[in-house]
Copies of this chain bind each other. A is one copy, B any other.
Amino acid sequence: MFKIRTNHGETLYSHGESILESLQNSGIYLQASCGGKGVCGRCKIRVIEGKIKTEVFFSITEQERAKGYVLACQSYPESDIFIEIPEKLITVSERISKAYTDIIEKHFKEKQLNPSVKKIHLKLRQPSIEDSQADFERIKQVLGKVSISRRLITELPEILRNKKWQTAVTVADGEVVDFTDSILYGAAIDIGTTTIACALVDLENGRIAGTTTCYNSQIAYGDDVITRIIYASENPEGLKILRKCVVDDVNALINAISKRHKNCKIFYFSLAGNTTMMHIFWGINPEYIRHEPYTPAINHYPLWKASDAELLSEPEIPVYTLPSVAGYVGGDIVGGVLASGMYMNDELSLFIDIGTNGEIVIGNREWLVTASTSAGPCFEGSGIKCGMRATAGALEAFSYNAETDKFEIKVIGETKPAGICGSGMIDIVSELFSSGVIDRKGKLLMESSRWIKTIDYETAFFITENCYICQSDIDNIIRAKAAIYAGISTLLNEVGIKEKDIKKVYIAGGFGEFLNVKKAIRIGMLPNLLEDKFSFIGNASLSGAVLTLLSTELREEAESIADRMTYIDLSRSKMFMDEYVSALFLPHTDSERFE
C-alpha cells in the first residue's frame, strides 16, 4: 500500500481508487463539482514528490502541468506520494476537524499536552547472575510503580528477550498496556441520540488524524431518548439490542478510521454522550431516568476497559466516560462546556448544544446552571422528509429573492442537493418567512411562490424535483426552535438574568458551524443579540472528548465541571410551558423581543 501525504494529513492508498476517492475515504473532502468525472477541472492538486499515473488534463494549463498539477479524480499513485492541496479546495469534514484544532490550540497554547497514556523507550540492563531481578521489576525500576494485566505479563518474557531488552512501553493511567512502538492514537467518540462521531487523535502531537460520523442505528427503535428508554426497559431484550446497535456503530467507525492508518492501534478511548446514551452504551437500564425524580444509575463513571465496552481494541485499553450532571444533562454537555472554555470566563456566557435534545448552560467561572429541552431530531436531519446530516450533498444555506421568486442554494461539496441539513432548514424557514411565503404560524401560503406544490396531500416548497420542504417539516422545525428558545428564556429567568447581560454565546451541535445566526434569530430560535457575541464551536461534545484524551488535567476539569453544574428541571416549570407556547410563532408572540 502506498502512502499519500498531504498538507492536510496523510492516508494510505487502496489500489484502484483515484487520489480524490482515497482522500475522501480518509475524511479529506475536496470540492469536485462533477463528482470525479474529470470534466469540471476543480480538483486540481500539485504533486510534490512521488510517481503518479494520470491521463486527463482537463483545464490544466501547460505551465500548471510543468509545476506538477493534476486532477485528483484522474490520478493514481504508483509510489508513496506527497501532494499539496490548495486551501480553498478543502470542504466539510476537514473543516470540522479544523474546528477541533482551533479549540485544541486554544487549550494548549500555554499548556503542555499531557495525555494519560504515554510511550517510553526503555533500554534495560540484561539480567545476569549478579542481577537476576524479575522482568517486570526491571521495568518498574525505570518506570516506578506501574501495574500490568495478566494477559500482557504472559507476553513479557518473550518480548524482552526478543527485543534484546530494548523496548517501547506504553503506560495508560499507571498500567502497562503495550510493548510495540505504535503511534499513540486515542479515539474520542461522541454518541448522540441521532448521530455518532469519532475522532482519531495522535496523542503525541494533538493532531486530529481523521474524523468520521454515522447515524446511531438505535434510530430504528425510536427517534428520541424517551422512546429509547421505553424500548430498553420494557422489552425483555431491549437494552441488549440497543446496546449492540451503538457498540456495533462505534466499532464500525473505529474500524473505518483505523484502516486508513498503518498499524493503527488505539490506546485510549474517551466517550461523550447524553446520560441515556451512556447508560445504554454501558448496558445500564436507563428506566429511572424517565420517571420522576429522573435519577440516573451513575454520573461519574469509573475508568472501565475496552473489554467491558466490547470495543475493538486490546482488552486492557481504558475507556473514559465524560461525567453526567443529571438524567437530561450528560457528558456531551460537560464536554461542550469544557471545549467552549466558558467555565473559565469572567463574563457571563450562554452555551447551547442543539442536537436531538437542546441543552443550555449559563454561567461563568463562578457558577454554572443547566437545563435541557427536547428539540427533537429534525436539525440532525431525522423526521424531516428530505432531512440529512451536514455531510456532502446537504443543502446548508438558502437565500430567496421575493421579487423574482428565485432562490440560491449552497450545497456541501458543491453537488446537486441530496437533502437538507439543519442550517439549511433554518435558512429556508427564515427566508420564506421574511418574504411572506410562510406566515407567522409557519403556514405555507399556496399562491405566494411558484415553487409551492402538493406532494402526498401536503403543500411543499420545492428546491429541486426531489428536494423539498413540506408543511409538516416546517411545523416540526418551529416546534424545535420554540423548545430551544423557551429553554433559554426560562433558564435566564430562573437565574434572574436578562438576555442583554450575556456577553458570549457558544453554539454547539453538528450543524453549528454553518448556521446563519441572523436567520436563526429571525425565526426566534436564538436570543436577539449582536451577531459578534456568537461563536460556533461545532461538535463541542466530541471536542471535549478529544481534550480529555490529550490532558489528564482537562479530564479532571471535566469531572469538576460536572460537579459544579446546577441542574434545573424545566419539565415541572409552568413558565417553560408558557414560554414554549409563546415561541410557537415566527419569530415569537412577544414581537418586542425580536425587534
Binding site for B on A (CB under 8 A): 127-129, 131-137, 140, 147-150, 153-154, 156-158, 161, 282-285, 287-288, 292-300, 302, 304, 308-309, 324, 326-327, 567, 569, 572
Q: Are B129 and A282 in contact (CB under 8 A)?
A: no
Contacts of A157 in B (CB 8 A): 284-285, 287-288, 297
With A and B bound together, what is the CA distance between A293 and B283 in angstroms? 49
Q: Are B285 and A134 in contact (CB under 8 A)?
A: no
Contacts of A309 in B (CB 8 A): 150
In-complex Cβ contact of A154 among B140, B283, B294, B569 (8 A): B283
Question: Which of A133, A153, A572 neighbours the largest number of chain B CB atoms within 10 Å of its CB?
Answer: A153
With A and B bound together, what is the CA distance between A23 and B268 in angstroms? 54
With A and B bound together, what is the CA distance between A137 and B563 in angstroms? 11
Q: Are B158 and A285 in contact (CB under 8 A)?
A: yes
Q: Are B135 and A285 in contact (CB under 8 A)?
A: no
Closest 9 CB pairs of A and B: A132-B293, A136-B298, A150-B308, A134-B296, A134-B299, A147-B302, A129-B293, A127-B295, A157-B297
Given contacts A137-B299, A157-B288, 10 further A-B contacts (CB under 8 A): A127-B293, A129-B569, A131-B293, A132-B295, A134-B297, A140-B300, A147-B302, A148-B302, A154-B297, A157-B287
With A and B bound together, what is the CA distance between A302 and B158 in angstroms? 20
- Could you pull out 19 A-B pairs where Cβ atoms are within 8 angstroms? A129-B293, A129-B572, A131-B293, A132-B326, A134-B296, A134-B297, A135-B297, A136-B297, A147-B302, A149-B302, A150-B308, A153-B282, A153-B297, A153-B298, A154-B283, A154-B285, A154-B297, A157-B285, A157-B297
Q: Report if A324-B282 is in contact (Cβ < 8 Å); known contacts: A293-B128, A293-B129.
A: no
Q: Chain B residue with minimal CB distance to A158?
A: B285
With A and B bound together, what is the CA distance between A569 and B128 in angstroms? 12
Contacts of A133 in B (CB 8 A): 295
Contacts of A295 in B (CB 8 A): 127, 132-135
Q: Chain B residue with minimal CB distance to A161?
A: B288
Q: Are B293 and A153 in contact (CB under 8 A)?
A: no
Contacts of A131 in B (CB 8 A): 293
With A and B bound together, what is the CA distance between A153 and B300 in angstroms? 12
Q: Are B147 and A324 in contact (CB under 8 A)?
A: no
Least Cβ distance of A291 to chain B in Å? Answer: 10
Contacts of A308 in B (CB 8 A): 149-150
With A and B bound together, what is the CA distance between A443 and B101 in angstroms? 86
Q: Chain B residue with minimal CB distance to A176?
A: B302
With A and B bound together, what is the CA distance between A136 and B302 in angstroms? 11
Contacts of A567 in B (CB 8 A): 132
With A and B bound together, what is the CA distance between A243 and B565 in angstroms? 51
Q: Are A137 and B302 in contact (CB under 8 A)?
A: no
Q: Chain B residue with minimal CB distance to A319?
A: B150
Q: Report if A327-B282 is in contact (Cβ < 8 Å); known contacts: A127-B293, A153-B298, A287-B157.
A: no
Q: Are A304 and B150 in contact (CB under 8 A)?
A: yes
Contacts of A282 in B (CB 8 A): 150, 153-154
Q: Chain B residue with minimal CB distance to A296?
A: B134
Q: Are B298 and A134 in contact (CB under 8 A)?
A: yes
With A and B bound together, what is the CA distance between A129 and B154 in angstroms? 51
Q: Report if A283-B150 is in contact (Cβ < 8 Å); known contacts: A128-B293, A157-B297, A293-B128.
A: yes
Least Cβ distance of A132 to chain B in Å? Answer: 4
Q: Are B129 and A297 in contact (CB under 8 A)?
A: no
Question: Which of A133, A136, A156, A292 neighbours the largest number of chain B CB atoms within 10 Å of its CB?
Answer: A136
Contacts of A135 in B (CB 8 A): 288, 295-298
Q: Chain B residue with minimal CB distance to A150?
A: B308
Contacts of A326 in B (CB 8 A): 132
With A and B bound together, what is the CA distance between A135 and B308 in angstroms? 20
Question: Which of A150, A283, A287, A304 neighbours the largest number of chain B CB atoms within 10 Å of its CB?
Answer: A150
Least Cβ distance of A571 to chain B in Å? Answer: 10
